Amino acid sequence: MKIPEFFGLMLSWFVITLCFSLWTLFESPDLFLYVFLISGSSAGLGFLLHELAHRSTAKRYGCHAYYNVWLLGIVLALILSVVTRGSLVFAALGAVYIVPMMTAPSLDMNAMKKVFGVISISGPAMNLLLVAFFYVLSYLGGIFSVLGLYGMRINVWLAAFNLIPIPPFDGHKVFSWSKAIWAVFALPSWILALFM
């Protein structure tokens, strides 16, 4: 069953937000709505903008690109979050599918690797931009401090996770294209993920 892209994105945003909030139902149910709103504005936003960055970059390269929700991933995410009481989040809820609009004889394998490498790095790069945004937000005090700290942690984790250099992660395509560019993004993400 094919779900329209907009509804797939909204479903994925809702489910990842719910998964990052479920722990409260086991530990502090009265905090659920508060944490759900914080998660939606940080984890959900990070996931959504990550996928949209892939899509818009692919379209700039002349590709047909669309987000396709993975219903099995949605179910697995919900089950894993409930079984682990919210301590483990499975974030493979869907992906942007990319189809080059045409192939040119002059476009060799290295050029294709670069195109897919740039498209792939755009998602984690968006998460790292969000880390900077949430860092600034964390200094505004009150609820913004909470949102900022949570947003930094979640988006660092999303960038680090996606930069793992094995298929089907973004990191694999980036690593195949340029090990140096992969290292510039992956190593700081992993270091930040360890110390945040």
End-to-end CA distance of the chain: 40
Quote the pLDDT of residue 105: 53
pLDDT over 80 at 195, yes or no: yes
Quote the pLDDT of residue 103: 54
- Per-residue pLDDT averaged across 9-36, rounded? 94
pLDDT over 80 at 1, yes or no: no
Reported as type and span, the H/E element at residue 116 is helix 109-137
Helix (H, G, I), strand (E, B) or coil at 3: coil
What positions carry a catalytic annotation? 51
Residue of 52, 68, 58 whose CA lies nearest to 119: 58
Q: Which residue has the tokens 């964390």?
A: 138
pLDDT over 80 at 194, yes or no: yes
Q: What is the pLDDT of residues 112-171, one digit of tens each?
A: 899 999 999 999 999 999 999 999 999 999 999 999 999 999 999 999 999 999 998 999
Question: pTM for this structure?
Answer: 0.90
Q: Which residue has the higher pLDDT, 52 or 98?
A: 52
Q: Break the chain into its structural domains and give their ranges.
A: 5-195
Asked if 93 contacts 47 with a C-beta cutoff of 8 angstroms, the reply is yes
DSSP state of 169: S
Quote the pLDDT of residue 13: 95
Q: What is the pLDDT of residues 73-123, one digit of tens each?
A: 999 999 999 999 988 888 789 999 988 765 555 567 788 899 999 999 999
Q: What are the residues facing 3 on neighbouring strands?
A: none
Question: What is the rounded distance in angstroms from the CA atom of residue 185 to the CA atom of residue 196?
Answer: 17
Q: CB under 8 Å to 60, separation ≥6 — which residues? A: none
Q: How far is CA 143 from CA 8, 16, 43, 148, in A?
A: 29, 21, 16, 8
CA angle centred on 124, ends 4 and 184, rounded to 5°: 160
Helix (H, G, I), strand (E, B) or coil at 163: coil
